[in-house]
Amino acid sequence: MLKLNQSYHWGQLQQLLPRYRQQHLRELFAEPGNRFERYSLEVDNILLDYSKNCITEPILTHLFGLTRDMNLPAAVEAMFSGELINKTEQRAVLHTALRNRSNVPVMVNQTDVMPAINTELQRMRLLVEQVRNGDWVGYSGKPITDVVNIGIGGSNLGPRMVTEALRAYADDRIRVHFISNVDGADISRVLASISPGQVLFIVASKTFTTTETMLNAHTARNWLLAATGEQIALKHHFIAVSSNRPLAKAFGIAPENIFTLWDWVGGRYSFWSAIGLPIAIYLGFAQFEALLSGAHAMDQHFRYQPLEKNAPVILALVGIWNSLLLKAQSQVILPYDASLASFPAYIQQADMESNGKHVDRQGQPVDYATGPIIWGHSGMDGQHAFYQFLHQGKVLVPTDFIGSVASSVPLGNHHEQLISNCFAQSEALMNGLSEVEVSAQLKAQGMDATAIAKLAPHKIHAGNRPSNTLLLQRLEPRSLGALIALYEHKIMVQGVLWDICSFDQWGVALGKTLAQAILAELTSTTCHRHDDSTRGLIDYFKAARQPRDD
């Protein structure tokens, strides 16, 4: 297997680096030709403008060459066709099958997975309609008013982000709540706001062993049983989404209330399955299907469009070039849409859990950068917080701006103001403000030469800070589905080029076991060996909880 940094095009890109490290984006825009026309494309009503990156024809030629060096087309086909590409767990990776609206067979180990997916979708539809129409009743005969999702990580972030993002499309027939971490304040707040006779708990856990989820699920179950006094109430108020039916049953979930999650769906790619039930209940099943359709449209684009016209491939290549050229270690995502406030956190998990890897697929250490730190915030609010760093800080952070042509909640000229900020920021990051421009501005304000010389350095913006802008027609279920799939595939492409295993998560698995030994020590006299710091923290915590004499 060819190693990335031994490939021909990688070598060519390395040779281009010194020249382009001197190149300012302003200069590229001053060259003949329209960069926007050349370096933007539209897919399913999403515009991707990547012209404000240090991209030129020779660079693109070698970046696309890299995709061929690393056999990207074959890897894409292997994923869509159900090969066991998650090598360390010997699993297929088939979130794309969950939204395969064409329904063509997808084979895993000689079995077509589509019939099982369609059965679960039918079951979801039925449940969603029953809950939303008031036909699913609690133990006391009253309809459900609140759905509480109990899950963490991939079993929480997706449904939480999408319900928030698409709030404008909900009819608020059913309220949805999310409990993820084990802070008692979280679950207590939710339980205090709902009625035991009218709540539906969804225990969302692929493994049904995640301690945080299990603790919260047991607390919710005890709360319900204390209120109802009857075991039978569980059947009316608890459903589960899991690949571990025996444990879900042992918990007390009625078998007919267990929805299936397959081992070929990674947690962070799972809300397209029954993990998406909170979304479907909140918005209605038709809207959930629109979300799937948008993702499917992006899947088709990704699978069949030539690499040079392929939005996820281009986004991935621009990211790889930025990490090579600028040694960019992070990537900020800035939605100019308050509904997408949780989108950066969602992509942060998808990207960092997938591509935060240090060895290649053969287990050999890699000596090039892999996945960057992903972070972000609602752009408009970020402007008044950390944008100072983006404009004038010493660390260069490539940016993804996300906005929409039309608002899903129009109000006066709010939307135009919002988007004008989005465009202005990307322009300013690219152009900067030179010494000549700053001095001219200050002179026009009547400042003398000495004062200008003192102040000007502080007001200079170097610019040359790259960004992509993604513009949706409108934030709605279909476009959100497509946008998420775009990022999912970008992550996949980068993983293939870096030759890493994007679909396992051993770092998360480690975290799931770490706390257990310490938990035993916090609640008993058990004592394990630890370093001085950890020992000190445990002892301090235990001592501080003892009643004091004073």
Residue 210 interacts with ligand G6Q (CB under 6 A): yes or no: yes
Q: How far is the CB of 236 from ligand G6Q (least distance, A)?
A: 23
Q: Which of 249, 459, 512, 530 is catalytic?
A: 512
* 371 interacts with ligand G6Q by CB under 6 A: no
C-beta of 69 vs 504, nearer to ligand G6Q: 504
Does 477 contact ligand G6Q by CB under 6 A? no
Contact between residue 386 and residue 372 where contact means Cβ atoms under 8 Å apart: no
Min. distance of Cβ 212 from ligand G6Q in angstroms?
Answer: 8
What CA–CA distance (Å, rounded) separates 158 from 168?
A: 17
Cβ neighbours, 10 Å, residue 145: 17
Burial class (CB in 10 A: 0-12, 13-18, 19+), 135: exposed
**Residue 276 or residue 398: which is nearer to ligand G6Q going by CB?**
276
- Of 99-107, 171-179, 205-213, 316-324: span binding ligand G6Q (CB under 6 A): 205-213
Active site residue: 353, 476, 488, 521, which one?
353
* Site for ligand G6Q contains 154 (CB under 6 A): yes
Q: Give the shortest CB-235-to-ligand G6Q separation in angstroms.
A: 22
Count other C-beta atoms under 10 Å from residue 176's C-beta. Answer: 23
Identify the residue among 86, 100, 163, 213 touching ligand G6Q (CB under 6 A). Answer: 213
Query: Please, which of residues 123-152 interact with ligand G6Q by CB under 6 A?
Result: 152
Query: Could you tell me if 350 and 490 are in contact, meaning their C-beta atoms sit under 8 angstroms apart?
Result: no
Minimum CB distance to ligand G6Q, residue 269 (Å) = 7
Q: Is the CA virtual torsion 406, 409, 410, 413 positive or negative?
A: negative
Classified as helix, coil or strand, 477 is helix
Interface with ligand G6Q, residue 82, by CB under 6 A: no
- Closer to ligand G6Q at the Cβ: 269 or 498? 269
Give the shortest CB-258-to-ligand G6Q separation in angstroms: 14
Residues 6+ apart with CB under 8 A from 361: 1, 87, 499, 500, 501
Catalytic residue selected from 358, 384, 394, 458? 384
* 207: contact with ligand G6Q by CB under 6 A: yes
- For residue 86, the SS3 value is strand
Asked if residue 404 binds ligand G6Q (CB under 6 A), the reply is no
User: Rounded distance, CA 237 to CA 144, Å?
Assistant: 9
Q: Does 268 bind ligand G6Q (CB under 6 A)?
A: yes
Gap between the Cα atoms of 526 and 519, Å rounded: 10
Q: State whether residue 39 is helix, strand or coil.
A: coil
> Distance between CA 98 and CA 113 in Å, rounded?
9
505 is a site residue for ligand G6Q (CB under 6 A)? yes
Three-state DSSP state, 47: strand
Residue 309 is a catalytic residue: no
425 binds ligand G6Q (CB under 6 A): no
Q: Is 210 or 228 the residue whose CB approaches ligand G6Q more closely? A: 210
Spell out a b/e string for 158-167, using b for 16 or more CB atoms within 10 Å of the CB, else e: bbbbbbbbbb
| Helical H segments across 204-251, by residue range | 211-228, 233-237, 245-251
Local structure of residue 374 (DSSP, 8 states): E
Of 387, 375, 389, 121, the C-alpha closest to 260 is 121
Q: How many residues bind ligand G6Q (CB under 6 A)?
A: 15
Q: CB-wise, 35 or 268, nearer to ligand G6Q?
A: 268
Pairing relationship of beta strands 258-260 and 175-179 according to DSSP bridges:
unpaired
The answer to whether residue 266 forms part of the interface with ligand G6Q (CB under 6 A) is yes
Residue closer to ligand G6Q (CB basis): 158 or 319: 158
> Could you say which of 91, 95, 132, 206 contacts ligand G6Q (CB under 6 A)?
206
Residue 382 touching ligand G6Q (CB under 6 A): no
Query: 306, exposed or middle or buried, with CB in 10 Å at 0-12, 13-18, 19+?
Result: exposed
Q: Which is nearer to ligand G6Q, 295 or 334 (CB)?
A: 295
Q: Among 67, 205, 310, 431, which residue sits at the site for ligand G6Q (rule: CB under 6 A)?
A: 205
Rule CB under 6 A: say whether 180 interacts with ligand G6Q: no
Pick 24 or 245: Cβ nearer ligand G6Q: 245
Residue 284 or 495 having the CB closest to ligand G6Q: 495
476 part of the active site:
no
- Kindly tell me which residue out of 67, 100, 155, 322 binds ligand G6Q, with binding defined by CB under 6 A: 155
The Cα 304–Cα 342 span in angstroms is 30
Active site residue 377: no
To ligand G6Q, the closest distance from the beta carbon of 268 in angstroms equals 4
DSSP 144: P
Residue 411 parent element (H or E): none
* Of the residues 114, 508, 518, 538, which one makes contact with ligand G6Q according to CB under 6 A: 508
Apex 69 CA angle, 65 and 74, nearest 5? 110
C-alpha closest to that of 300 among 117, 118, 100: 100
Residues designated catalytic? 353, 384, 512
Residues that bind ligand G6Q (CB under 6 A): 152-155, 205-207, 210, 213, 266-268, 353, 505, 508
